[in-house]
């Protein structure tokens, strides 16, 4: 089952609650929330207080993408604020196995994100423990960048690995440069959760934008 996760990074922050209600009504499955710390990535966004403030606006799962160093220090506050999926970057975690298992103990779905240059092999000994793998299709930090097509073989290879270990249910999420043109390519390669920021929030008709990603 394909999921569309609009990234609120591209929303109008002055009307964030309304923007979230709008994509909820327009057929979104998850709300993607990008946490950036100006250390792991050269940009700064929002944290638990903002997530808590918008939690009453929707019942859709909050898919939280942590682009931060020491992400585990934020887990309790994020969960208290209403996060449902917590995705950490493999590059930011010295003890990735411990971190992933901590997320599951706390009752969230556990995701691991890989920067474009990071090989799939970093997941070899943790793939049994994850609920989701996020393949970055741009270098993280900013919305509105171009899709890196070299990530398509990576998605295909991951889908194959997951089948081989008997875990076809693990989500493959893609993030960065997703449009109506790139969506069919990542879906064909095996992705089942599509994050889209500027493509969805950049159009006035969000229902049309979201449904165009499903075609
Ligand atoms: C980038 C973020 C993305 C971003 C995607 O670092 O992780 O979630 O919002 O933006 P678009 O869809 O515009 O490439
Ligand atoms: Zn993201």
- Residue 63 Cβ inside 6 Å of ligand 1? The answer reads no
Residue 22 is predicted with a pLDDT of 98
* Sheet of 3-6, strands arranged across: 3-6, 193-196, 171-175, 132-136, 109-114, 85-89, 62-67, 31-36
d(C-alpha 202, C-alpha 11), whole Å: 8
Instruction: Tell me, in angstroms, the distance from the centre of ligand 2 to residue 161's CA.
Output: 23
Residue 14 is predicted with a pLDDT of 98
With beta carbons less than 8 A apart as the criterion, state whether 99 and 89 touch.
no
With beta carbons less than 8 A apart as the criterion, state whether 66 and 86 touch.
yes
- Residue 178 Cβ inside 6 Å of ligand 1? The answer reads yes
- Residue 176 Cβ inside 6 Å of ligand 1? The answer reads yes
Catalytic residue among 22, 37, 63, 175: 175
Atom of ligand 1 nearest to the CA of 177: 14
Each residue's pLDDT expressed in tens, for the chain with a length of 215 residues: 999 999 999 999 999 999 999 999 999 999 999 999 999 999 999 999 999 999 999 999 999 999 999 999 999 999 999 999 999 999 999 999 999 999 999 999 999 999 999 999 999 999 999 999 999 999 999 999 999 999 999 999 999 999 999 999 999 999 999 999 999 999 999 999 999 999 999 999 999 999 999 99
Which token pair is 142?
């900013």
Instruction: Tell me, in angstroms, the distance from the centre of ligand 1 to residue 176's CA.
Output: 5
Atom of ligand 1 nearest to the CA of 145: 14
d(C-alpha 192, C-alpha 174), whole Å: 8
Q: Is residue 108 exposed (0-12), middle (13-18) or buried (19+ Cβ within 10 Å)?
A: buried
With beta carbons less than 8 A apart as the criterion, state whether 178 and 195 touch.
yes
Question: How far from chain centre, in Å, is Cα 66?
Answer: 9
With beta carbons less than 8 A apart as the criterion, state whether 67 and 35 touch.
yes
Q: Is residue 93 exposed (0-12), middle (13-18) or buried (19+ Cβ within 10 Å)?
A: buried
Residue 41 is predicted with a pLDDT of 98
The reply to whether 175 belongs to the active site is yes
Residue 204: CB partners within 8 Å, gap ≥ 6?
none
- Closest ligand to C-alpha of residue 64 is 2
- Residue 196 Cβ inside 6 Å of ligand 1? The answer reads yes
């Amino acid at each position: 089952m394909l999921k569309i996760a609009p990234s609120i990074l591209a929303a109008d922050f002055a009307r964030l609650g309304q923007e979230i209600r709008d994509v909820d009504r327009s057929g979104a499955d998850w709300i993607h929330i990008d946490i950036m710390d100006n250390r792991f990535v050269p940009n700064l966004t929002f944290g638990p207080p903002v997530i808590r403030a918008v939690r009453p606006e929707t019942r859709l799962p909050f898919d939280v993408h942590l682009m931060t160093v020491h992400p585990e220090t934020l887990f309790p506050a994020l969960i208290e604020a209403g996060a449902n999926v917590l995705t950490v970057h493999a590059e930011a975690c010295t003890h990735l196995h411990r971190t992933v298992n901590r997320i599951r103990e706390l009752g969230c779905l556990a995701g691991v994100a890989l920067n474009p240059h990071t090989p799939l092999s970093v997941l070899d000994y943790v793939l049994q423990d994850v609920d989701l793998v996020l393949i970055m299709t741009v270098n993280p930090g900013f919305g509105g960048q171009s899709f890196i097509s070299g990530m398509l073989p990576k998605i295909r290879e991951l889908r194959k690995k997951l089948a081989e270990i008997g875990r076809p249910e693990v989500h493959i999420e893609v993030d960065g440069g997703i449009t109506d043109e790139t969506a069919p390519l990542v879906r064909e390669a095996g992705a089942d959760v599509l994050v889209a920021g500027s493509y969805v929030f950049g159009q006035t008709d969000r229902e049309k934008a979201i449904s165009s990603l499903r075609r």
